[in-house]
Structure 1
């Protein structure tokens, strides 16, 4: 499907976010985390690009597979999921309940990434939640919240509880439902989901074997300091992002159109 380019229509700031978000959708598909046309990744339109209008967001056109989304096909919406710009596509307003709650509750969040992967849902359904049995889990547990399942996320009164359960965390496990990560950039949200999803896959795999070995509490307590020593002032997500885009350019180009 040919979508007219918006590169010369929107601001440079908005276009940059559109390219990153479209790339993120394709990376999610490439890693096998998509759920046909379900779930969302949303990004806040930069304040500089919204003129007088705050709280504008970009989201996937409902009905497209993640691996065919482009920067120009993303739909601009308000916090209630209403379209703010011309688009031949609809949006799944019901599915934006979760995302709007996070965006409105956390002004520091530029991107919200939500998945329904088998491993993520499997661990979310376990009473113990994510266990400290892998290096990947240790990187998540210090900033992980849990939200109890309330059925399909179509009721706005659930939003206050989503905001409460996410709190200041970067990761949220939606019980019996899936995973959610946030970031100040699209790259950060993606890297956090990569780590959280890996931790869940490892846990499900390890539980099929013998007795589990837990990481010692003193090691868990030192994770933040170790990360600060390793990465300095630049997040691992932003360090990896250019390489991920180069890989997309090789295997699934066209996201930036």
Structure 2
């Protein structure tokens, strides 16, 4: 028989993960990082990384509750059948990455304004011009080969670019941005700061003035220091949930 204590703990852990995910959907909408009823977040919830939670098809980020998230298996294509089938492009991108990149346990894909502007530039690399952008020095890549909507083949192609566990952001050229992490808190933290850094970079370009770049050693040192900085991601998500609770949000339901 299953261990009752362990089963209860697993259920509680899964419920907490659902609530964490729901909170980030609500906060992404508040920050205007969502797009209509498009874009998706996903989180692996088993040891192999192939079973994952994801937002349901065609539901606005501002409405998503913990119980709304659907549980999928990246190795089970029958998930695309039935009334609760996920968005086919979400299955193509997120399912492929969860199947092929087990180190990427949480994925957050949006078409946020500044990151998407960056994705349209001939050089979509984010240079280290301030502390926030230095956070992603040698920790982001650019996919310069957009191949259309992220159905299965495109998702597999994107997954092939993500073999390096050090990568936290993929700028999806002509498309948007994808953040990768181990936890919901960590991944949303990366997504938030990349958008902030892209905002600064795009604004700096708009001045037409020469930019001041950090040298490689300082950028690398800063990235390492920020990666090791304690508790910031967890504290950010904790306070997001506290604010939502104080406002009477139903995200936990």
Normalised by the length of structure 1, the TM-score is: 0.84
Give the structure with the larger helix fraction: 2
Task: Assess if the C-alpha contact under 8 Å between 1:76 and 1:83 holds in 2.
Answer: no
Q: In angstroms, what is the RMSD of aligned CA positions?
A: 2.5
Alignment size in residue pairs: 239
Within 2, Cα distance between the matches of 1:167 and 1:253? Answer: 38
Note the C-alpha offset of 1:246. Answer: 0.9
CA deviations over 1:85-126 (Å, ceiling 9, x no partner): xx9654202222111222123223221000101211110111
Note the C-alpha offset of 1:27. Answer: 1.1
Question: Are 1:126 and 2:129 counterparts?
Answer: no
Residues 76-87 of structure 1 aligned to structure 2 (within 5 Å): 76-79=71-74, 82-83=78-79
Task: Assess if the C-alpha contact under 8 Å between 1:145 and 1:167 holds in 2.
Answer: no
More displaced 10-residue stretch of structure 1: 169-178 or 104-113: 104-113
**1:222 to 1:109, Cα distance in 2 relative to 1, 3 A:** same
**1:90 to 1:101, Cα distance in 2 relative to 1, 3 A:** closer
CA deviations over 1:35-90 (Å, ceiling 9, x no partner): 0110100111244xxxxx97221111222210110011111122156549xx9654
Task: Assess if the C-alpha contact under 8 Å between 1:75 and 1:83 holds in 2.
Answer: no
Q: 2:131 aligns with which of 129, 132, 135?
A: 135
CA deviations over 1:149-182 (Å, ceiling 9, x no partner): 111111x233343123222211111001001111
User: Which residue is equivalent to 1:3?
Assistant: none
Note the C-alpha offset of 1:34. Answer: 0.2
Task: Assess if the C-alpha contact under 8 Å between 2:43 and 2:184 holds in 1.
Answer: yes
Within 2, Cα distance between the matches of 1:138 and 1:220? Answer: 5
Alignment gaps of 5+ in structure 2: 1-7
Within 2, Cα distance between the matches of 1:20 and 1:81? Answer: 26
Q: 1:93 aligns with which of 50, 68, 88?
A: 88
Alignment gaps of 5+ in structure 1: 1-7, 48-52
Give 3-state SS (helix, strand or coil) of 1:11's partner.
Answer: helix
Within 2, Cα distance between the matches of 1:251 and 1:175? Answer: 37
Normalised by the length of structure 2, the TM-score is: 0.85
Deviation beyond 3 Å, 4+ runs, structure 1? 80-84, 87-90
Within 2, Cα distance between the matches of 1:254 and 1:112? Answer: 23
Within 2, Cα distance between the matches of 1:151 and 1:166? Answer: 19
Give 3-state SS (helix, strand or coil) of 1:150's partner.
Answer: coil
User: Which residue is equivalent to 1:42?
Assistant: 42
Q: 2:55 aligns with which of 56, 60, 63?
A: 60
Task: Assess if the C-alpha contact under 8 Å between 2:49 and 2:99 holds in 1.
Answer: no
